Amino acid sequence: MTELTFPALDPQACDRARLSRDARFDGLFFIAVSTTRVYCRPVCPASPSPKRENVTYYTTAAAAEAAGFRPCLRCRPELAPGNDAWQRGDHVVTRALKLIDGGLLQEHPVDELARRVGVGARQLRRLFVERLGAPPIDVHTTRRLLFAKQLLTETNMPVTDVALAAGFGSLRRFNAAFAQANRMAPRELRRKPHASSSDSLVLRLHYRPPYDFPSLLAFLRGRALPGIEVVDDGSYSRVFGPAHTPGWLRLSAWPGQEHALRLQLHCPQPAHMLSVVTRIRRMFDLDADPQAIAAALQTTVPMRTSLRKYPGLRLPGSWDGFEVAVRAILGQQVSVAAARTLASRVVHRYGEKLPLPVAPGLECLFPAPDMLADADLNALGITTARAQSIRGVARAVLDGQVDFRVEQSLDEFVQRWVALPGIGEWTAHYMAMRGLSHPDAFPAADLILRRAAASDGNPLSTKALMQMAEAWRPWRAYAVMHLWRSASIPAKLPVAPRKKAVA
């Protein structure tokens, strides 16, 4: 298991960030003020700033709340981007945090969380308190309550639905937990009712600058599936299931200079709302720390040049892992346009049609694994080898032979996937980069990467590129995005090495 050096707070650096209100540090730490018993973000506009002797810094909101502080009503800690420093590598705490974000503690006790990461419950609690300043259940509860606070502040959702959206099965328990954490009842945040002209709601999703939203949209636009996604120059829209109560979302830049995206969301089932927002944050890489990424990548000349040209490049995730797996197989050795055409045929033939479009251009869902396990894909113009690979992947997913569990390590993920016919290292790493949003995934055999990283125009060998990429850990996937961007070949997918597929 790879050890992770967890970030330690430098009080002097925190002082400078607090006094300058530097947005690059938003969410990386929190400021607790002893005189008010309130904790804030580094960007809090409150003036004058508190005296240094009255300030304590915490690495997480959960730690501040465990120490008895309540969230600031002005800077609203619930809007702070997450700190992905806690979710790098394969440390026990890292894997447990991914499971908490995935909602494991929603339905299971801490003992099950500990079992999933291979330690005892007592040891896991100790590690959480040591590393994060709060036990797992407090981290889980703080996450839910901060989301509820955002819904209460920014939407007109009934309090009962807010409680469900935040993962509370009982309104009484929600009211009690919210009052304890915020020193007020939930309804006290509803002094100014929110007008609404539709059944969708609007939320702000903050990030740390810089953030190259146009480049991310361009990447997704070239791969958008008709009927499932609509991507234009300024927004991304998608439909999601289940088919009997489908939802939809639209993501665009927040107006003005605020470091946030505008999420318009229609989610018919409130209990699914937190997981949907979490998935969107991961898909659009909103919790990345550009400073940490740049510090690791700028050790080589190709990266220094690209970082200057394209600051704020993010890792484009995906909505669903199985969808990425199918599309990665279809994209081997062909252009983006050709891969999109093939994927569109699969969706048209086997996708689940909705009774009515939920929004213009959003009318069906990507086929589930059981729909493709025995599908006649050759009739769609897909080669026999790739058709066999897709059917094999669908069966392997149904059998549990492979999956997209967030707590598995990159090496474990790749090892399990390359055991399948037609799945090589390139495809497995591409799936990890898009499907798991793994920051260190690296399809080293890719020809465009090897060519873009070379200084003389002659492609590096895979071994040479792997050696160069050691300096980019744990951010090799971001190096991939920079090299693909600098290669300026938008019409083609990265070229995967061929691997013969068998039945």
Catalytic residue annotation: 40, 446
Token output for 134 = 């709060």
Token output for 149 = 């606070």
The Cα–Cα gap between 303 and 297 comes to: 6
How far the first Cα of the chain sits from its last, in Å, is 34
5 HSE (CA, 13 A, CB side): 4
The Cα–Cα gap between 273 and 280 comes to: 11
296, 475 contact by CB (below 8 A): yes
Residue 272 neighbours by CB distance under 10 Å? 19
Token output for 328 = 């990665």
Give the angle 98-421-225 at the CA atoms, nearest 5°: 60
Residue 260 neighbours by CB distance under 10 Å? 19
Rounded to 10 degrees, the C-alpha dihedral 142/147/153/158 comes to: -110
Side chain identity, residue 248:
W
Burial (CB count <10 Å: 0-12, 13-18, 19+), residue 271: middle
The Cα–Cα gap between 255 and 257 comes to: 7
The Cα–Cα gap between 212 and 416 comes to: 33
The Cα–Cα gap between 263 and 276 comes to: 11
The Cα–Cα gap between 251 and 57 comes to: 33
Contact residues for 220 (Cβ-Cβ < 8 A; gap 6+):
229, 231, 236, 316
The Cα–Cα gap between 478 and 317 comes to: 12
Give the angle 261-266-271 at the CA atoms, nearest 5°: 105
The Cα–Cα gap between 375 and 364 comes to: 18
Contact residues for 168 (Cβ-Cβ < 8 A; gap 6+):
144, 148, 174, 177
